[in-house]
Amino acid sequence: MLDQGVERSSIQQREQRNRSGVQQTVSELTADVISRTAFGSSYKEGKEAFHAQKQLLSLDHCHGNSPQCATARIQSRLTSKVSEYGDELPGAMLETCFTTEHGEKRDELVLTMDEIIDECKTFFFAGNDNTSHLLTWTMFLLSVYPEWQERLREEVLRECGKKNPTAEMLRRLKVMTMVLLELLRLYGPGIFMIRKPISDIRLGSLIIPKGNGIVIPIPMLHRDKEVWGDNANEFDPLRFEDGATKAAKIPQAFIAFSLGPRSCIGRNFAMLEAKSVMAMILQKFSFALSPTSDGEGFATAEIGTTEMIEQVEKQRTSTL
């Protein structure tokens, strides 16, 4: 009896080691990407800032020293004798704040230090959590629908081969784009948007006074059968075969990145990052849901996919 218990325990431990903590791994990856791209630092150097950012979101106040670190970095740029402030995000923001519309130098910042730090924190959050959300759901649904996983792999190998994908290669990944847009429609990171009209407007039979907040529930609109058809709740990337504007009965139905002048400024960056990551994964690996997983917890904000996906296995064929 004892031997059987030890054997079962050993098997469970092996299964535990073989599963991938998908959410954590993907979150660290996207944190590294946004940190290197926008802030010129590695993930380890920015780890405290990400940790404090998550505490700020969950506790409504910030523990840690990320604001002080950001302030120190920006202050060092201001006092630097070098004429340029750097080519990453804080430096670009400082350069803009000190430059007029005619390219002349200002004597004072247009934004306050707190406003610059707030913008940096927004960039951190959007570049980390939103993209990791998309990538984690992509791996989950491609595990649920292995036929789409194989279809994407065929496209990636056809367009990219074994090489690291270039911008031109990524541009040709049409099926990948369709899958990512469908994932954003069904499981986008944004739950709602808030807008305030700058003047009195009529919206259908409603008259909305100037300054009144309007809450736009994105998931409800993305699953409206009158707009998206009877299969609105189903995973069907083919609906985006002709692009986002023709996926539904009205061109403006897809609002995962919002619309108009206030649409997401990081849309292209997020899609490029998601395509790059998924292309490189599909080149070398296949993945499936763990047979011991029951899917519990998938409605949580953290997605709940940690340890949901079975060990990512390398393709056995040497042709990959």
Annotated binding site for heme: which residue ranges?
264
Binding site members? 264
Sign of CA dihedral 318, 165, 120, 91: positive
Longest dimension (CA), the chain: 82
Distance CA 292, CA 294 (A): 7
- How crowded is residue 139: how many other Cβ atoms within 10 Å of its Cβ? 25
Question: b/e map of 51-60 (b: 16 or more CB within 10 Å)?
Answer: ebbbebeeee
Distance CA 176, CA 236 (A): 13
Whole-angstrom CA distances from 106 to 102, 283, 295 are: 11, 50, 56
Distance CA 240, CA 242 (A): 5
Distance CA 13, CA 201 (A): 61
Residue type, 207: I
Tokens of 51: 């940790």
Sign of CA dihedral 53, 180, 232, 251: positive
Provide the phi-psi class of 276: left if phi over 0, else alpha when psi is between -120 and 50, else beta.
Answer: alpha
